[in-house]
């Protein structure tokens, strides 16, 4: 549904993102995780057709975001970093306007606007002027404008920023309820957020995608901190995996692509605080495997991890009185 | 085509709606109407007003005999009034056009417009029509002022003269608003946009003064760019197609530059 291929963006001489590649399958929620300033917003803006990429291509629903910009813009909903709202309009009036400029036919408009209002829990604020809404409600109106025309692809840039814990939960549930029928890409710098909402995660750091995986695997990779890439002879790896898994201190073994012929590469993730390279090597050799290479990995992820927000603030839950 | 039209209407309606709920717009309209009313009274009854002057002429001829200079009072009134209105625009229009894009940039709503299936042209045209409609509703009551005065004119004045004058006023405003919209698209500061627009208007109103300094056909060519000169022609009741062409050119130029500037903004934005 969304394919990003070697995307780069240079501002003057500073690269904002370089060689970003990932894809999002239909109905999936991809979390775009990275510290502040990693290039998340730039990537989102390119996908939404707001900025052109310096090199590389991005396609949504098969259309190039730059060359077929109008076709793409008809098929996306986009929530920028700051929700784009007209403060003098009412919630309903604003959503009507957005539906109109997104090309929803006059007959469908009332129904779609009502649906978006209900999904975002804005029924009570229908006729309220946006200027008078609290930040949490404004964020919800921002999400409502991104989904009002029922687009197949939804791009959300930091959708939960500035919300209180109760609203965060609501927004996450809303996003989850959109999955399946919509393809969603959301950016965040909060680690637990991706594990709670996303089916897959791409981690971006210094403008580069350093890992793409399911949240569970990434979490293991991140929290364990380190591991090894091991290259062995032969293409049959299930036995080798078994052998390594049996070594005390190993938390995860997975197959990796390899360039060598008749070789296999395995990624071993260790439990925190363990240093068992000799044991793994010995176990492999004792089981008759030819060991070619063993190198330490995960330094980049650790680096990212340190800069991410890994814990959510446990604020007392306040009821929004506005 | 139908979609483009629907988009223009959507932008137009939103823009117009925002004027009717904005305190600034009401403030501008109040000041405009107050000053317009003041000018009306001054032109008719003020110390150098038309009526006292005519009365003085009449008195003079009665006492000393001799011919009374022929003055078409009603026509002079319309001319003088619309001339003052032209001046008033200088201060009113930059305030009307300053927020057209600057405000959208500041609020981040430009990102919404730019990522919606709209062309920059449709947005610019919709906005220009919106602000122009607001301006026209500001000008309409002035016709009422004039109707009261002209109703007393004998022999009656052809309504075409004030109407043509008002058409000129609206065309002049459209030309300035279009350029003001372009300037507004260059910055996200409304104040800066207003100040720059003010400067550009002064330049375009007085370009014929500059042109007089430049000799030969170049000077003459430049003098044709003057907005005030063409406005005066219409106010005098002369319908000249070249004036129409000039005003339309300014309007189209403004819309074109706005569309280009938004494109450039997106392509260079840091």
Helix (H) or strand (E) holding A295, with range, is strand A291-297
What's the rounded Cα separation, in Å, for the pair B86 and B18?
A: 25
Neighbours of B267 (CB within 10 A): 9
Both A98 and A196 in one domain: the answer is yes
Helix (H) or strand (E) holding A213, with range, is strand A208-213
Give the pLDDT confidence of A70-128 residue by residue, as tens digits: 889 999 999 998 899 999 999 999 999 999 999 898 899 999 999 999 988 899 999 99
Phi and psi torsions of A297, nearest 5°: -130, -175
Both A278 and A232 in one domain: the answer is yes
Residues ≥6 apart with Cβ < 8 Å to A19: A6, A7, A8, A56, A208
Is B12 exposed, middle or buried (CB count within 10 Å of its CB: 0-12, 13-18, 19+)?
A: buried
Tokens of A12: 């003057």
Both A108 and A241 in one domain: the answer is no
**Residue with the two structure tokens 């800069």:** A307
Both A138 and A212 in one domain: the answer is yes
pTM for the whole structure: 0.80
Intervals of chain A under pLDDT 50: 299, 315-322
pLDDT of A304 reads 61
Give the pLDDT confidence of B114-142 residue by residue, as tens digits: 999 988 899 999 999 999 999 999 988 88
Residue B47 located in a structural domain: no
Residues ≥6 apart with Cβ < 8 Å to A236: A264
pLDDT of A301 reads 59
Contact between chains at A86 and B109 (C-beta distance less than 8 A): yes
Residue A113 located in a structural domain: yes
Choose the mutation target among A45, A48, A86 for the interface with B, i.e. most B CBs under 10 Å.
A86
Both A100 and A140 in one domain: the answer is yes
**Residue with the two structure tokens 């080798």:** A240
Both A26 and A175 in one domain: the answer is yes
Both A244 and A145 in one domain: the answer is no
**Chain A to chain B Cβ contacts (< 8 Å):** 74
Specify the number of domains making up chain B. Answer: 1
- Adjacency order of strands within the sheet including A153-157: A76-79, A153-157, A183-188, A29-33, A200-205, A208-213
- What is this model's ipTM? 0.85
Is A55 exposed, middle or buried (CB count within 10 Å of its CB: 0-12, 13-18, 19+)?
A: exposed
pLDDT of A169 reads 87
Q: Which of B3, B14, B266 sits opposite A97 (nearest CB)?
A: B14
Specify the number of domains making up chain A. Answer: 2
pLDDT of A129 reads 94
Both A194 and A236 in one domain: the answer is no
Give the pLDDT confidence of B4-56 residue by residue, as tens digits: 888 999 999 999 999 888 888 999 999 999 999 898 888 888 777 788 888 88
Residue B211 located in a structural domain: yes
Count H helices and E strands in chain A, helices first: 11, 14
Contact between chains at B115 and A48 (C-beta distance less than 8 A): yes
**Domain-ending residue, one of A217, A241, A261:** A217
What's the rounded Cα separation, in Å, for the pair A205 and A170?
A: 28
What's the rounded Cα separation, in Å, for the pair B12 and B8?
A: 6
Tokens of B136: 């026209």
Enclosing domain of residue A239: 226-297
What's the rounded Cα separation, in Å, for the pair A185 and B245?
A: 50
**Radius of gyration of chain B from Cα atoms?**
21
Which domain CATH number covers A150?
A: 3.40.50.300
Residue B23 located in a structural domain: yes
pLDDT tier for residue B267 given thresholds of 50, 70 and 90: low
Mean pLDDT on B145-153: 79
Q: Is B21 on the interface with A (CB under 8 A)?
A: yes
- Chain A residues within 8 A of B117 when measuring between CB atoms: 70, 73-74, 101-103
What's the rounded Cα separation, in Å, for the pair B126 and A78?
A: 23
Residue B52 located in a structural domain: no
Alpha-carbon distance A286 to nearest alpha carbon in chain B (angstroms): 58
Alpha-carbon distance A77 to nearest alpha carbon in chain B (angstroms): 9
């Amino acid at each position: 549904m969304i394919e990003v291929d070697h995307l780069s963006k240079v501002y003057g001489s500073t690269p904002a993102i370089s060689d970003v590649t990932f894809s999002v399958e239909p109905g999936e929620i991809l979390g775009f995780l990275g510290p502040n300033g990693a290039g998340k917003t730039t990537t989102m803006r390119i996908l939404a057709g707001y900025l052109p990429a310096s090199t590389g291509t991005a396609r949504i629903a098969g259309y190039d975001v730059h060359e077929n910009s109008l076709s793409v813009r008809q098929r996306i909903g986009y929530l920028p970093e700051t929700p784009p709202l007209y403060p003098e309009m009412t919630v309903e009036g604003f959503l009507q306007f957005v539906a109109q400029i997104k090309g929803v036919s006059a007959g469908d408009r009332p129904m779609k606007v009502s649906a978006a209002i209900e999904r975002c829990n804005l029924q009570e604020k229908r006729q309220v002027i946006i200027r008078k809404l609290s930040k949490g409600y404004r964020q919800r109106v921002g999400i409502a404008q991104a989904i009002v025309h029922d687009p197949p692809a939804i791009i959300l840039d930091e959708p939960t920023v500035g919300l209180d814990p109760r609203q965060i939960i609501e927004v996450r549930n809303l996003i989850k309820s959109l999955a399946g029928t919509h393809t969603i890409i959301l950016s965040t710098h909060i680690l637990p957020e991706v594990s709670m909402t996303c089916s897959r995660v791409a981690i971006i750091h210094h403008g580069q995608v350093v890992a793409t995986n399911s949240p569970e695997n990434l979490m293991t990779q991140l929290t364990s901190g380190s591991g090894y890439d091991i290259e062995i002879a032969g293409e049959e790896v299930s036995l080798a995996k078994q052998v390594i898994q049996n070594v005390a201190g190993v938390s995860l073994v997975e197959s990796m692509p390899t360039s060598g012929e008749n070789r296999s590469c395995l990624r071993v993730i260790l439990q925190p605080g363990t240093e068992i390279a000799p044991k793994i090597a010995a176990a492999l050799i004792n089981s008759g495997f030819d060991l070619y290479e063993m190198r330490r990995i995960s330094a980049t992820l650790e680096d990212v991890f340190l800069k991410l927000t890994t814990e959510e603030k446990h604020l007392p839950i306040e009821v929004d009185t506005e | 085509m139908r979609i483009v039209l629907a988009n223009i209407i959507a932008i137009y309606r939103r823009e117009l709606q925002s004027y009717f709920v904005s305190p600034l717009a009401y403030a501008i309209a109040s000041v405009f109407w107050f000053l317009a009313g003041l000018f009306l009274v001054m032109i008719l009854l003020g110390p150098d007003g038309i009526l006292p002057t005519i009365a003085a002429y009449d008195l003079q001829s009665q006492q000393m005999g001799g011919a009374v200079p022929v003055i078409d009072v009603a026509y002079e009134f319309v001319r003088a009034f619309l001339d003052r209105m032209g001046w008033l625009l200088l201060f009113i229009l930059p305030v009307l056009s300053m927020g057209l894009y600057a405000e959208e940039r500041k609020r981040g709503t430009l990102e919404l417009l730019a990522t919606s299936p709209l062309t920059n042209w449709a947005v610019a045209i919709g906005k220009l029509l919106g602000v122009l409609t607001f301006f026209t509703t500001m000008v309409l009551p002035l016709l009422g002022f004039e109707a009261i005065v002209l109703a007393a004119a004998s022999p009656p004045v052809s309504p075409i003269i004030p109407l043509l004058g008002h058409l000129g006023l609206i065309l002049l405003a459209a030309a300035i608003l279009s350029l003001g919209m372009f300037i507004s698209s260059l910055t996200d500061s409304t104040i800066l946009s207003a100040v720059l627009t003010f400067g550009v208007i002064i330049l375009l109103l007085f370009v014929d003064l500059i042109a007089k300094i430049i000799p030969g056909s170049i000077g003459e060519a430049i003098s044709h760019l003057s907005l005030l000169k063409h406005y005066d022609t219409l106010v005098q009741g002369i319908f000249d197609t070249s004036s129409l062409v000039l005003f339309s050119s300014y309007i189209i130029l403004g819309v074109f530059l706005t569309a280009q500037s938004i494109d450039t903004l997106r392509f260079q934005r840091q």
